[in-house]
Chain A
Amino acid sequence: MTAAASDVGHGAPNGAVRHLYVHLPFCVHRCGYCDFVTAVGRRDEHSGYAAAVVAELERERSWLADRVETVFVGGGTPTFTEPDALVVVLDRLPAGDELTVEANPETVTPELAMLLRDHGVTRVSLGAQSFRPALLEVLERRATPDDVRRAVHTLRGVEFDNISLDLIYGVPGQSAADLDADLSDALALEPEHLSCYELEAKPGTRFTHAHGAALARQAEALEGYFERVVRTLTGAGYRWYETANFCRDDDRELRALHNLGIWRGADYLGVGVGAVSTLAGERRRNLPSVGRYVSALAAGASPPREVEHLDAETRAVERLMLGLRLDEPVAVGGDDAAGVLASVVDAVAVARLADRGLVELVDDGIRLTTRGRLLGDAVTADLLA
């Protein structure tokens, strides 16, 4: 953990980065609540885009270690990408221990499952979201509940043994009984991993425009849903290892290692349109236009991007903010990196929050209690000096 936190401060490719993110933006349809960088239709553009991603990866490869820990292919809907184009990308990825691909249930055919397995994918993250047809409709999702079940079955058929399901709760009109039913339907599929997100009405999305008022009205009732999710899943033997993420608690390491690296403060390289990297004290964000991305790389240039410089204090704040989302302690004080962290933590607030049962002091670090994690943002804001 401390090694990852300290690999900053040089600015030149260092061959030390062990986490790679690849963005494939294409979707059959843009869901109303989505604020990711997506591109709808345009199947003729897929091969050109894949070539651009490969070109960017080559430009940036000197950042990466020879063997990386994790690669995460996200979207969009990566599995909506034309199979030939998808293979071009998968084949050029560096060797790694975990290779995750995001998929929408309706895209998971036996052929696709085979393709993923044959090209080194070790983990599939399925965007199930809900098992209630009416709620899926509100979310503008194309898959039916049976598509989700069929997709899991298909993946199991080609021996995928690390499947994650995404669920969304807090959908306008969702009752507590609906939530219980969704959780129980998801558990019935015995996924290794579950990500459960409260629907966030981000400003500017079509969804917020249509449902923002309904969500605001529901806000107080929805407060209890998070607790309900945590209670149900931990009761079913899952480990609540990050605010929104749960994994089966058995002998295998089933946490999402890619994201775990990021939450622990490791650097990561992101390639593709809209992709974000954090490299040696800089955060880069490729701009979201597919056309400009492809043409820049075709012309042998870097894609257009924004760069944000992260000074030591900012990095420490981020480390604290991310680390406290986990069920493991964040080291504060002691060695170098943790010493910087100590400077952004208000010791008086730590004591006060510990008194209130929101923070626990463990060895040289701090960790949030169950109630502290439910209130994680408020607690973190309070902890900052």
Chain B
Amino acid sequence: MDQSRIRNFSIIAHIDHGKSTLADRILQLTETVSEREMRDQLLDSMELERERGITIKAQAVRVHWKGHELNLIDTPGHVDFTYEVSRSLQACEGAVLVVDAAQGIEAQTLANAYLAIENNLEIVPIVNKIDLPSADPDGAAAEVVELLGGKGEDVVRISAKTGLNVDQVLDAIVERIRPPEGVADAPPRALVFDSSYDQYRGVIAFVRVVDGRLPTGANLHAMAMGTDFEAEELGYMAPGRMPVDALEAGEVGYVVTGLKDVSRLRVGDTLTLRKGGAASPLPGYKDVKPMVFAGLFPTDSDDYPELRDALERLKLNDAALFYEPETSQALGFGFRCGFLGLLHMEIVRERLEREFDLDLLVTAPNVAYNVKQKNGDWLEVHNPAEMPREIEEVQEPYVRAQVIVPKDYVGAVMELCTEKRGRFDHMEYLSERRVLLTYDLPLGEIVLDFYDQLKSRTRGYASFDYDIAGFRDGNLARVDVLVGGEQVDALSLIAHRDAAYERGRLLVERLREEIPRQMFDVPIQAAIGSRVIARETVKAKRKDVLAKCYGGDISRKRKLLEKQKAGKRRMKQVGGVEVPQSAFLAVLNLDGEKKKQ
């Protein structure tokens, strides 16, 4: 199709503000799917996504409206996938910004709107859910104008649920968003903005053709990864796969690659022809690195091979997932996994448990540290237990965090950010009632419990988003835990020196409550290096035997014994001490406990 009749756009919205519902209405109104085929929230194809009301993997759907070809490129709704969002936005010329008429702008809306503006996208603002009794369309529109400029009447007021004014959204897309301006006769360049894995057809890449033309059967070359493959099939989604002979400049579609490994074709790469291809790739490719790490161990050590297979399968679909085998003397064989962020970790854990039926123990998450050793070499550390004891310097990742709250909670948020070693950057009023606070915060504090604390201290009113802002020096100490005199690798943590004593003390207190009394005294110590900073003792039991056991009692007694034995099996043995799995999670909630006291 002539590029002047093509419009490529995304929808940006906070969770639950109605992005998927709007997408569904667009598919219906343009008769891309019939009423009968309509399944609510068609774009979110994974069960988990539908349940959590978020979109994890972006997809692209082509619709037709008044003689134009409109490509809707869906974006992941969460900060962990910022890079994927930025690639999706780069594939578009415009974005529809959806704001809930009752809730107003939220931090995630903001983060994605800024990304869209950075990518030079035309923004079509929408206020949704105007049919709700609590809706304040004018108030929400005023926040949008405050944020983006423009005029209040340019904000389209709709109800995606009822379909009210959705046609105006489509008209606005055609009228306001500029068409693509690629060079049709140049060597082809196509941006990979997403990929998925099909067990029969291999990796399927979703692409935006910027210049030139990609024909079916062409030998293609991914410029960043250096991967070569044949375009076995090209096409667009409507919303099923619709094969075509070629994808032209300005168009959005899919490429069936036949590749068996998603890591060979990364989001952000540029596809061109192997022979006679483009000289330079499209800008902006980035190798996304995981920032949050945690150990994943099967509850039953016999399930280790199943966990390995499951991670292999997940990795096919999720290039950002990183894992390597880890052996913990406390938890046995498992994997150290790297994630883009906490939500990504949650999603992976849930998919492993739900789709692969695995029972997992997930250690407290930590961030990646850059460590300068005594010999001057730099080392990246993913696990507190691997932090060298003799170090010159440590750097930890920081984020630029944005929090939007009603103004009454500004004090509470500032207090929390200060406790979490945050550095105030600036504050601005979005409206009379709502304030945007910007802080620099160590990611290590965020993975701990920042989000829970933020929610509880603002009664759920705060919204929060962040961007990785690079590594900075940190005054950090490794705190080890010894149970029965033996160091428990899975309980080591890294804390700021000022907080290390307090965290060590809380941790041993929690462990004393979690570890049941045994046949001998069990000392629990927290130590920095060889210096013990806190100590508790689980006192030995003095009696553990049923008094009576005669001929009539033997079966019952044996069953009790078997139960006692089974209970022991569920414990992890650390130097002969039985430690329940819950103890390994104690480190997760330390600060939450402190608040309760």
Contact = CB atoms under 8 A, between A and B. Distances in A.
Contacts, number: 105
Interface stretch (B175-183, B315-323, B434-442, B561-569): B561-569
Contacts of B472: none
Given A384-B561, A384-B565, A374 B542 contact: yes
A243 B544 CA distance: 11
A123 interface: no
Given A223-B541, A226-B543, A244 B548 contact: yes
A interface residue count range (under 10 / 10 to 19 / 20 to 34 / 35 or more):
35 or more
A376 B543 CA distance: 8
A293 interface: no
A308 B551 CA distance: 14
Nearest to B566: A381
Given A262-B550, A262-B551, A318-B554, A223 B543 contact: yes
A352 B576 CA distance: 8
A255 interface: no
A198 B547 contact: yes
B545 A374 contact: yes
A321 interface: yes
Interface stretch (A42-50, A182-190, A271-279): A271-279
B558 A321 contact: yes
A380 interface: yes
A224 B542 CA distance: 7
B542 A244 contact: no
A56 B518 CA distance: 47
B550 A376 contact: no
**Secondary structure call for the B interface:** loop
Interface in A351-385: 352-353, 356, 358, 373-382, 384
Nearest to A226: B543
Contacts of A223: 541-543
Contacts of B550: 259, 262
A276 to B, nearest CB: 4
Contacts of A227: 542-543
A86 interface: no
B549 interface: yes
Contact of B547 (A197, A259, A321): A197
A384 B562 CA distance: 9
Contacts of A194: none
A176 to B, nearest CB: 13
Contacts of A132: none
B535 to A, nearest CB: 21
Contacts of B568: 381-382
Contact of A377 (B518, B520, B555, B564): B564
A30 interface: no
A91 to B, nearest CB: 23
Contact of B544 (A244, A318, A377, A384): A377
B551 A374 contact: no
A196 interface: yes
B557 interface: yes
A322 interface: yes
B549 A276 contact: no
Contact of B564 (A278, A356, A381): A381
Contact of A308 (B555, B561, B565): B555
B547 A283 contact: no
Interface string A309-343: 00000100110011001000000000000000000
A377 B543 CA distance: 9
A249 interface: no
Contact of B519 (A276, A283, A285, A375): A375
Interface in A113-167: none
Contacts of A222: 543
A243 B519 contact: no
B558 A317 contact: yes
Nearest to B542: A223
B67 interface: no
Nearest to B560: A377
A283 B555 contact: yes
Interface string A167-209: 0000000000000000000000000000011101000000000
A270 interface: yes
Nearest to B546: A377
B376 interface: no
Interface in A249-296: 259, 262-263, 268, 270, 274-278, 283, 285
B551 A278 contact: yes
B552 interface: yes
Contacts of B546: 200, 377
B546 to A, nearest CB: 6
A373 B550 CA distance: 17
A198 B551 CA distance: 18
A21 interface: yes
B548, B549, B551, B565, most chain A CB atoms within 10 A: B551
Contacts of B542: 223-224, 226-227, 374-375
Contacts of A308: 555
Given A378-B519, A381-B568, A325 B547 contact: no
A28 to B, nearest CB: 22
Interface string B167-196: 000000000000000000000000000000
A264 to B, nearest CB: 12
Given A318-B554, A322-B554, A378 B547 contact: no
B561 A377 contact: yes
Contact of B549 (A243, A314, A375): A243
Given A200-B546, A244-B549, A262-B554, 15 more contacts: A36-B552, A197-B547, A200-B547, A200-B548, A226-B542, A226-B543, A262-B550, A317-B561, A321-B561, A352-B576, A356-B576, A373-B545, A374-B542, A375-B545, A378-B544
26 contacts: A197-B547, A222-B543, A243-B545, A268-B551, A270-B551, A276-B552, A277-B551, A283-B554, A318-B558, A321-B554, A322-B554, A352-B576, A356-B576, A374-B543, A374-B544, A374-B545, A375-B541, A375-B545, A376-B545, A377-B546, A377-B560, A378-B544, A380-B561, A381-B568, A382-B519, A384-B561
Interface of B: 518-520, 541-552, 554-555, 557-558, 560-562, 564-565, 568, 576
